[in-house]
Amino acid sequence: MKGFANWIILFMFSGIPAYALEADITSAPDVPAFITRTMPETVEVHFEAKEFVGDLADGKRYKFWSYNGTVPGPMIRVRLGDTIEFHLSNHSSSQFPHNIDLHAVNGPGGGASVSLVAPGEERVFRFKTLHPGLYVYHCASPIPSIPAHIANGMYGLLLVEPKHGFHRVDHEFYVFESEFFTQVSDDEDLSVPKVEVIPVELKKKQEKIGASAEKEKKDEGFMDSLVNTFFGKSSDSLEPGKSDIQKALPDSFVETDLDEPLDSPEPEKKYLLELSLEKGSKEQPDYVVFNGRQGALLGANALKVNVGEKVRIFFGNIGPNGISSFHIIGEIFDRVYLEGAVNGVVNRNVQTTLVPSAGAVIVEFTIDVPGDYLLVDHSIFRIDKGAIGMITAVGDSSPEIFESIK
């Protein structure tokens, strides 16, 4: 009993909390659950800096730097007045020291000045949330440079709910835009399976035609592919007809196989992509993507809602250079919390909202008509670099709002 009393006295006079809640964190596009408690608490957040190789686009693998192995990093949700005990470790396999600058922090470097952590070590610091809103966090390690850590994937969002919380909606999503400046590294992509060299025979004309069509499909640009998906292929296509291709092939090739099989060529080596500081300094991104890779919010990964449901998107933009013109094609934002501020300016009936580099925004809307709705950066050429996603809404049609007549 005496020992227990001593612990109580220690906590009272040291300011160290006797217990802490574990923060609810999620990976994009998921958002942590609404906070139901009504009083501030001490909340622990655990992040691990990790360098890894992952997909940036189909067939393109990149040397990412991250928090908790995801790009963007996890979304954190806390409450105004909470005391955050932040634990940042650095995986032992990392090559560089990392830290974290949280824009929600009132203190030197946003925490970066006390959180620089070497591989295999951990740093812990504490801060109190003094302002509600949606805030960006990112790495600010000077080794090798702050831009390198940001451009390689070390960023995410922290939401500080206001004292009385947010009004409820049916869906909340976490979407983050970022640029990647790439060059081919000296490191081979070892994830590519080794192809066994086996004897092959030349295929007949039908199979050759199929291969040609497949090559054309691969050569199609990302935007071209998207347009074809929604609007069909142009009738003015210059692709030769099947019969024309058949006529162009020699009869000896079409109808006979070689007596002696040929060896298939050695598979071409593929190399990992890495950051190009030169492209970054010139502000020339190769990719502008949502949630860390091209196509992260398309196809099977599209966001899904029902017609008539209220939707809230927590949207961040790291840049590192570009300002985002966030827009949903076919939808109007009912409410926009300008620059992620809560209890600040709320705009209504907004078509497109600007999100600065290392800034954020909260948008709310209701989809009235079933169908597919594209999320884009309306700096429109960025769509072809990957700045595009999709929301699919299902439900009853509303001809009084929208219908095709002829």
Which pLDDT value is given to residue 218? Answer: 45
Domain layout of the chain by residue ranges: 18-168+182-186, 203-269, 277-394
Say how far apart CA 47 and CA 73 lie, in whole Å.
Answer: 9
- pLDDT for 281: 97
Q: How many CB atoms lie within 10 A of CB 338?
A: 15
pTM of this structure: 0.81
Class of 277-394 in CATH? mainly beta
Interval 254-303: pLDDT, tens: 343 445 454 556 667 899 999 999 999 999 999 999 999 999 999 999 99
pLDDT at 250: 42
Q: What confidence score (pLDDT) does residue 20 get?
A: 83
Q: Token digits for 287? A: 């990719």
pLDDT < 70 regions, the chain:
1-18, 192-267
Distance between CA atoms of residues 216 and 214, nearest Å: 5
Other Cβ atoms less than 10 A from the Cβ of 253: the count is 13
* Tokens 């069509």, residue located: 213
pLDDT at 1: 46
Q: Identify the CATH homologous superfamily for domain 18-168+182-186.
A: Cupredoxins -  blue copper proteins (2.60.40.420)
Q: Which residues contact 309 (CB under 8 A, 6 or more apart)?
A: 169, 170, 171, 366, 367
pLDDT at 193: 60
Domains 18-168+182-186 and 277-394 share a fold: yes
> What are the tens digits of pLDDT across the range 77-108?
999 999 999 999 999 999 999 999 999 999 99
Q: What is the pLDDT of residue 226?
A: 58
